[in-house]
Chains A and B, each alone.
Chain A
Amino acid sequence: MTAAIECLHAHKSFREPADREDRANRRGGRGFAALRVLDLVAPRKVRVDAVKDVSFQVKKGEIFGILGPNGSGKSTLIRLIATLLTPDSGTVTVFGQDVVSDRLAVRRCINRVSVEAAFFKRLSALENLEYAARLYGLDAREGKRRAEDILERLGFLHKKMTVPLENLSRGMQQKVAIARALMTAPVALLLDEPTTGLDPVSKREVQDFVLEVRETHDTTVILTTHDMQEAERLCDRIAVIHGGEFVAMDTPESLKASFADERGRVPTLEEVFFRLTGSNVDDWMREQGE
């Protein structure tokens, strides 16, 4: 059987203006105008490898977690699968269809939820969803019905559906984003930090819903997060990404077991994460008492 989603030696790099932080600090300051002129004359760019030689396969109906700190390349990887970025090298396929050469076919079977709810904020939830439904070629009424069902299922109050989204909380907006993605009945769902910034209750609701969708529709899910509990709760397998590279990939249990010490103590996923990503590795070592 072919994999639902497959990534083979995927690589993506960007060209970035050099010393971005430095420049950002001076923004608004007096040096800014002079710097702009300098940029025009000699724009210095450096290469940023956002995704480096990443390979993995996701089975149909699997929830595959990508765990990584900020800037580790999670969103870039999601965008490569979502046909929003073209890989520099390597191949990415969704149900056997290549994200570059069969772009439309891939788009037909995926949808994506990103960390920031991107909407026409002046429009209401229903207006935004109707737009998406029509664009996807769904019957407008059918799309609206599906969207309303999903919103209700997520505990979204009916009277809030016609309020401009700019007046709703982030948690509410994220639920609309999830409704937008699921309305099109994707066979593969890309969730890029879907619960980041949500309150604990909304977070729970979203997580429960992800599990439910997989249960009822056999949807294949790729989920990025930096929330260990979420990863453990939802994912069948977890890949840890660091600096654009996969540094580990296994089931949560095996991942933890592989880091057990000589006395057989199994660390928490958090400890494994710190160890793999090098963040706080010293603290971690000290805690282990070497």
Chain B
Amino acid sequence: MSKVRGESLVDKVKSSYALVQRNYNLVRRDAGWELVFIVYEVVNVLTIGFIGVNGPKETMNERVLYLVAGALLWGFLSALFHEVAESVAWERWEGTIEYSFMAPQPRGVYMFGVCMWGILYGFVRTAICLAAVTLAFQISLAGANLWAALLTLAASSLAFLGMGLAAAVLPLISPEKGSPATHIFQAVVLLVSGVYYDVSVLPAWVRPLSYVSPATYTLRAARAALLEGAGVRALAPDLIILLALGVVLIPMGFAVFSAGERYAMRTGKLKRNG
């Protein structure tokens, strides 16, 4: 039997590059706006860093690092989540969703492309912020274990991509309420995960939420690596939780999305005009 073009795994990965290129073109077209967003993000991170400059000199490095690590990690993870979760909302808004979804590709190809873009975009933005931070503050990373911190980030990326995939279904099943819902979800994760403070300060009734948020483990492990130089072995419990969350959340997010797509095709939620 002759092989149909676009069938091998390599071809599928190539096809998913369509999403990366398209989003890159969109960013480039509105480069002015992108610049504004990045400047805002940089200023935001710096502002948070300056909070740590207050107080006793001896512990300043630790305080600034604590805060800046929170801001940078949150910036990366929320960009990841946002790019994936909003991909469908964006296509709905443009009206292109039927065309993207009608392509003869398993949905995984589309989603893989969206995730790759999210990682790339989040990475570049965070790198720019990191550069600004190192210029603004004389932070010493002498005792930090950077590899362990990076590994933590990679492990938690999976969990956040999984959550993004699940959240991407919301605009699919509810055109009006879907996108606001993803923003609320993101805000709750920010609140309960100890991005700028230790989760122990949270009111008792909010605490349980911090246990289920992957960001809680990311921040705890990354800070241990950056501030105390903790190694992979010491971080193993948190890393395992993060990986487990990723391994569960990615297939689950994908399954939720696929179910949502079937629902949309049954009820006519994909698009109705034109």
CB distance from A134 to the nearest CB of B (A): 3
Interface size on B, residues (CB 8 A): 37
Chain B: minimal CB distance from A90 (Å): 14
A-B contact count (CB 8 A): 102
Residue A144 lies at the interface, judged by CB distance under 8 Å to chain B: no
Q: Does A130 contact B (CB under 8 A)?
A: yes
Q: Which of B15, B29, B268 has the most CB of A within 10 A?
A: B268
Q: Is A15 an interface residue (CB 8 A)?
A: yes
Contact call B102/A137, Cβ cutoff below 8 A: no
For residue A85, which residues in chain B have a CB less than 8 angstroms away from its CB?
A: 265-266, 268, 270
A118 CB-CB contact with B under 8 Å: yes
CB distance from B109 to the nearest CB of A (A): 8
Question: In this assembly, does A132 line the interface, its C-beta being within 8 Å of a C-beta of chain B?
Answer: yes
Interface membership of B4, Cβ < 8 A = yes
The digit string for B234-274, where 1 denotes a CB below 8 A from any CB of A, is 00000000000000000000000000001001111011011
Contacting A118 at CB < 8 Å: which of B17, B19, B22, B95? B95
* A contact residues around B95 at 8 Å (CB): 116, 118-119
**How many A residues, CB 8 Å from partner?**
37
At the interface, yes or no: B14 with Cβ under 8 Å from chain A? yes
B101: min CB distance to chain A, Å: 7
Q: B181 to chain A: closest CB distance in Å?
A: 15
Say yes or no: B266 contacts A86, CB within 8 Å: yes
Nearest B residue (CB) for A84: B98
User: CB within 8 A of A131: which of B18, B98, B104, B273?
Assistant: B18
Q: List 7 A-B contacts (CB under 8 A).
A: A76-B268, A85-B265, A112-B98, A116-B95, A135-B15, A136-B103, A137-B11
Q: Knowing that A82-B102, A135-B19 are A-B contacts, what are 9 other residue pairs whose CB atoms are under 8 Å apart, sorted by A's residue number?
A: A14-B267, A15-B267, A83-B265, A84-B102, A107-B104, A116-B274, A120-B96, A132-B18, A134-B18
